[in-house]
């Protein structure tokens, strides 16, 4: 039997988690939609309204880490079937910043150097296009692999960056498949904003609002699926780790109670 985790199984677990508490998740989706809607609105504001945009951005910065941690914690707690401690918000914020910086840095290094070499071969005018084509996939992969630091912090699990990278080994492409709908939604939203005349779309524009709803909902559901990936991969890691330790130490299973010990002695 294959030891690979099916993306379909991950989707089913996320759906089952949503059914466990639909009201709570709908509230979280509503908050995600408002954040996405606000950020998209700020991106097309004229310069004279920059003060309003700054207020919206600050609110989004304050709300987003709490929202991410809440979604992750609820999902992992439901999948594990037990109460989980809530990780410190400041640790989550620092982890989020570290993962973002690491993602951007590795995407730049992995994208810039190949782009320079390919730009020499194909012409300097193509460097920017090559940089985007190479660096963006690298950024997604790094974010998926190191993002497990955030899931661990959200439920106060032990974590480090090397462990986060090892957890996703051999599963990266399947994780990308589950995140693909959200990535496509971001691309479509970007094309929609770029296709305008540079002015802010109407707040009541049905297409713009619909795209914000879809993107917000997909953001929450993708984070739920990512949390499901963490739970299953962490379970496998713990089983392998304990088995390895027992084999190295030659450990034997000890009786769980005094009564078991007496029975074993009599036998």
DSSP labels, 24-36: HHHHHHHHHHHHH
Mean pLDDT of 39-47: 64
| 76: Cα separation from own chain's centroid | 13
Share of the chain above pLDDT 90, in %: 41
pTM, rounded to two decimals:
0.81
Residue that is written with structure tokens 């990512």 in the block = 226
User: What residues does each domain of the chain span?
Assistant: 7-249
Please check the confidence at residue 86 and state whether its pLDDT lies above 90: yes
Would you say 63 and 31 are in contact if contact means Cβ atoms under 8 Å apart? yes
Q: How far apart are CA 81 and CA 84, in angstroms?
A: 9
Predicted pLDDT at 126: 57
Mean pLDDT of 93-118: 77
Would you say 164 and 141 are in contact if contact means Cβ atoms under 8 Å apart? no
Predicted pLDDT at 267: 43
What's the chain's average pLDDT? 80
Would you say 28 and 67 are in contact if contact means Cβ atoms under 8 Å apart? yes
Backbone angles phi, psi at 88, to 5 degrees: -60, 135
Mean pLDDT of 215-225: 93
Give the CA count within 13 Å in the CB-facing half-sphere of 70.
Answer: 14
Contacts of 98 (CB under 8 A, 6+ apart): 149
Would you say 89 and 73 are in contact if contact means Cβ atoms under 8 Å apart? no
């Amino acid at each position: 039997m294959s030891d690979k985790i099916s993306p379909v199984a991950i989707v089913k677990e996320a759906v089952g988690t949503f059914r466990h508490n639909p009201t709570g998740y709908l509230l979280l989706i509503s908050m995600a939609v408002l954040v996405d809607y606000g950020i998209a609105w700020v991106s097309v504001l004229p310069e004279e309204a920059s003060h309003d945009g700054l207020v919206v951005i600050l609110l989004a910065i304050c709300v987003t880490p709490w929202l991410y941690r809440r979604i992750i914690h609820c999902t992992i707690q439901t999948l594990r079937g037990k109460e989980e401690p809530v990780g410190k918000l400041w640790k989550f914020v620092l982890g989020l910043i570290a993962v973002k910086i690491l993602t951007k840095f590795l995407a730049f290094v992995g994208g810039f150097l190949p782009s320079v070499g390919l730009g020499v071969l194909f012409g300097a005018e193509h460097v920017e296009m090559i940089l985007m084509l190479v660096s963006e996939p690298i950024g997604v992969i790094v974010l998926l692999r190191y993002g497990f630091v955030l899931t661990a912090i959200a439920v106060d699990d032990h974590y480090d960056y090397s462990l986060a990278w090892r957890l996703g080994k051999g599963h990266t492409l399947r994780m990308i498949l589950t995140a693909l709908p959200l990535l496509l939604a971001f691309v479509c939203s970007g094309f929609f904003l770029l296709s305008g005349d540079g002015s802010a779309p109407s707040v009541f524009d049905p297409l713009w609002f619909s795209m914000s709803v879809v993107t917000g909902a997909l953001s929450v559901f993708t984070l739920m699926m990512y949390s499901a990936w963490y739970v299953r991969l962490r379970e496998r890691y713990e089983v392998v780790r304990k088995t390895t330790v027992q084999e190295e130490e030659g450990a034997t299973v000890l009786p769980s109670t005094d009564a078991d010990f007496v029975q074993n002695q009599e036998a």
